[in-house]
Amino acid sequence: MLDFLIFAVTMISIWSVVALSLDLQFGLTGLVNFGQILPFALGAYGPAIAAAHGFSLEEGIVLGLVLAAAGGLVVLVPAGRLSQDYWALVSLGAAELFRLLMVNVAPIAGGQDGTAVPRVSDPVVAMVLAVALLAAMLLLARRIDRSPLGRLLRVLREDELLAATLGRNPFRAQAVITLVSWLMAALAGILYAHIVGYVAPSSFTVGETFIVWTALILGGAGSLVGAVVGTAFVQIISVSTRFVADWSGLPFDLVANLRLGVFGLILVLVFLFRREGLFPERKVTIHAADP
């Protein structure tokens, strides 16, 4: 039981960082990103590519961050000329293109079979690292949320034209927050790779982005606490699949697939009965004299 709790806290912490990165884009800025699994995957593939080609652990970490930053710029350049609806489609397509690239070009990092990565062997150490990363990213997200940049992003979310009339450059602000959020997700991906000790394309499907969205909507978009609580709820359902299969006697694959149905049902219920999530966004009043 203790091992399960350690593993659950580790996974909740890692995926909470991904949910926070999505919250900065959608909850704070209003950018609908259906491909947030992409920076997470790019981060994870940094250590994987380094391990497959004989580079060091440090070089793998740097490679993961560089890949995420470069990927963010590649997606941002064409998306900057599109409306937010098309931004969602571009991000979704980019995530799937990367996954298919990793599946079909085996020399990069093992193809469909994936590749092994140096693993953090002690589960307690892994948990401490994951919780520390979550704490650092929470502080960063809170700092952004309460900064002038955070207030500008809220204006962009409510009325992009108004922000432009105030002399602000909407694309520049969106680009900054996108790069920050992608690097946050990449850090989570790097740590995930070293904790799991294995990276394969099957871990980065569109379904994983859907799970992150479920956590964010359930907890409350625009709320940092909501992102973490929503992720905790969703991840407990995910990691307890094995126990449900043992208890019910149903095949594990069937229970895993039913899990997606449960997430869909959660989304429907939230939209029907609590549209702002369990922890709605805190309304902030800004006075003219405030910095």
DSSP-based three-state secondary structure for 222: coil
Q: Which of 47, 4, 64 is nearest to 235 (CA)?
A: 4
Q: What percentage of the chain reaches a pLDDT higher than 90?
A: 42
Q: Which of 28-32, 106-110, 153-157, 250-254 has the highest mean pLDDT?
A: 106-110
Let me know how long the chain is: 291
CB count within 10 Å of CB 252 equals: 12
pLDDT at 290 over 60: no
Which tokens sit at 13? 């912490």
Task: Please report, for residues 9, 86, 159, 187, the alpha-carbon distance to residue 82 in angstroms, rounded to integers and kept in the order given.
Answer: 39, 6, 16, 28
Q: In this prediction, what percent of the chain has a pLDDT beyond 70? A: 92
* pLDDT tens-digit map of 170-208: 778 888 998 999 999 999 999 999 999 999 998 898 888
Cβ atoms within 10 A of the Cβ of 263, count?
20
pTM: 0.89
What pLDDT, in 10s, does the model give residues 213-257?
989 988 888 889 999 999 998 888 877 766 776 777 777 777 777
Q: Tell me the one-letter amino acid at 86.
A: Y
Which letter does DSSP use for residue 26 in this model? I
* Per-residue confidence (pLDDT) for residue 139, from 0 to 100: 96
Q: How confident is the model at residue 78 (pLDDT cuts 50, 70, 90)?
A: low
How far apart CA 131 and CA 14 sit, in angstroms, is 8
DSSP state of 261: H
pLDDT for residue 256: 74
CA pair distance 22, 201, nearest whole angstrom = 21
Contacts of 88 (CB under 8 A, 6+ apart): 32, 33, 34
Higher pLDDT, 236 or 291: 236
CA 112 to chain centre: 22
Among the residue ranges 3-7, 233-237, 242-246, 284-288, the one predicted with the least confidence is: 284-288
pLDDT band, very low/low/confident/very high, at 77 (cuts 50, 70, 90): confident
Backbone angles phi, psi at 116, to 5 degrees: -80, 150
Give the integer Cα–Cα distance in Å for 189 and 65: 10
